[in-house]
Structure 1
Amino acid sequence: MKTTLIAVLMLSASFSFGQAKKGKLIWEENFNGKSLNENVWNFELGDGCPNICGWGNNERQIYTKENHKLVDGNLVITAKKDGDKYTSTRITTAGKKEFKYGYMETRAKLPVGQGIWPAFWMLGANIKHVGWPKSGEIDILEYVGRDPQMVYTTLHTQANHGDNASSSKMKFENIEEGFHTFGVDWKKDKMDFYVDAILVYTFNPKDKNEDVWPFDQPFYFILNMAIGGNFGGPEVDDSIFPQEFIIDYVRVYSN
């Protein structure tokens, strides 16, 4: 669903705009088992065809069940180049774990390299009925290897989506090193996005009609690593593979 983002707000990580405030822990996924819990997670497989070939963004990867593993309490999604094909994994909590409001957070280690596009995001649970972008989309984390040190946070709505999405990006000089936290404090009337507890973007439109604010309904999580595409590419450096997107946890707190 995500497309090329042009209108972005450039910020500097040297400024602290506020600290994330978390309430009671509502739900968490710590990836402590030997295999992914399919009572919580769904696999989305293939190349998106026939409905949304290239997953709507001209992405190159084929999603499989084989490009992930659970290791030492981490979910490891591995992007590979297999012959003339790129493979990766994409999982969702659609129909199983859906949330309306709260502080949503992941702790993750990013892959690197031209063509890599990992993401932690959410879609409206009504997407099958109303379609995208009317369902709304919350991109808590997007990173593209062609734009090092930058973290993107974005909201897509019927009123503002694609190239006109409500978006920001912030520079973090060490974002590719070690683990970092990425979260959104989603309230009834606004959203605050955080990276390592630093406020990076606030969305609080005055007019909250359904085309501007579809964020009054349950949403589900998506974790994936795309390759190439309108935003992640189009060029892909084949020498970087394999690359790992490592997720320590996904948590939801009250706010």
Structure 2
Amino acid sequence: MRICVLLFLCFCCLELSAQDKEWKLVWEEDFNGTELDESVWNYELGDGCPGLCGWGNNESQIYTKKNHRLHQGKLIITGRKEGSIYTSTRITTKAKKEFKYGKIEVRAQLPVGKGLWPAFWMLGSNIDEVKWPNCGEIDILEYVGKEPGMIFTSLHTKASHGNTLNTRKMRIKGIEEGFHTYTAQWTKDSISFYIDNELVYTFRPEQKTKETWPFDQPFYLIVNMAIGGNFGGPEIDDSALPQNFIIDYIKVYQ
């Protein structure tokens, strides 16, 4: 019994030390200005075809350069239905801003409506070489409008991907109201997720192999709002559109 208590206390100390670590801000995107800085951001356009039609999830939207704007220091991504076509925006920092370990935080306001799937996430920089899921994926924020009040934080690896076991689904009252912060604290040993500074999930595999821990390399950032698809759909509430996914800032500490 005493050993169990000691082990529990040691685990708590590890969590506290990670949370209380002196983090230094190394990069910040505050979206001041009139347009995205393309020395930092890439646009991913279209429907993913021919290489990844539906972006791998049977999503309904086409990504464009016209479904976002910068206003009063915020990035506003708008999901729309234009005739029979759904449109949105997806941007990444691939090959421009990539990070290995750190505290990665976004402050965002969620859209509301069935079929909407906003996300803030990361992919391993070696994705072109080893493909997904070998590259690893860190989902810091996922929300699907069909499940109001729920936030998903997940990790995808070769050993656990798609309907991953490495996930936590949290019901948070009022999460759709106003802005909230979503954070990943990523070290060489573990990845912990926080919502409004409250710990919700920690991933720390006992055995670290390429299959279980591809998180020992740089990753890049992705911001998007998908519509429909395997996770976001299948039902889309057209009457809820247009809807905005609003990003106040992104900060990376190390």
Deviations 1:92-138 (A, max 9, x none): 00000000000000000000110000000000000000000000000
Structure-1 separation of matches of 2:145 and 2:106 = 19
Structure with larger Rg:
2
Q: 2:5: which partner in 1?
A: none
Q: 1:247: which partner in 2?
A: 247
* AA of the residue aligned to 1:41: W
Q: 1:40: which partner in 2?
A: 40
Q: 1:31: which partner in 2?
A: 31
Q: CA deviation at 1:20?
A: 4.1
Write out aligned runs for 1:201-220 (5 A): 201-220=201-220
CA RMSD of aligned residues (A): 1.1
Q: 1:185: which partner in 2?
A: 185
Structure 1 residues 33 and 101 mapped into 2: Cα distance closer, same or farther (>3 Å)? same
Q: 1:13: which partner in 2?
A: none
Deviations 1:138-193 (A, max 9, x none): 00000000000010000000000011341111111110000000010000000110
Secondary structure of 2:236's aligned partner = coil
> TM-score of the superposition, structure 1-length normalised?
0.92
Runs of 4+ in structure 1 off by over 6 angstroms are none
Give the percent of matched residue pairs that are identical in Structure 1 and Structure 2. 63
Structure-2 separation of matches of 1:250 and 1:69 = 16
Q: Which runs of 5+ in 1 are unaligned?
A: 1-16
* AA of the residue aligned to 2:157: T
8 Å CA contact 2:186, 2:192 repeated in 1? yes
Q: CA deviation at 1:27?
A: 0.4
Q: Which runs of 5+ in 2 are unaligned?
A: 1-14
Structure-1 separation of matches of 2:240 and 2:166 = 31
* AA of the residue aligned to 1:134: N
Q: 2:7: which partner in 1?
A: none
Q: 2:109: which partner in 1?
A: 109
Structure-2 separation of matches of 1:164 and 1:72 = 37
Report which of the two has the higher share of helix: 2
Deviations 1:182-238 (A, max 9, x none): 010000000110000000000000000111000000000000000000000011010
Deviations 1:69-88 (A, max 9, x none): 00000000000000000000
8 Å CA contact 2:155, 2:164 repeated in 1? no
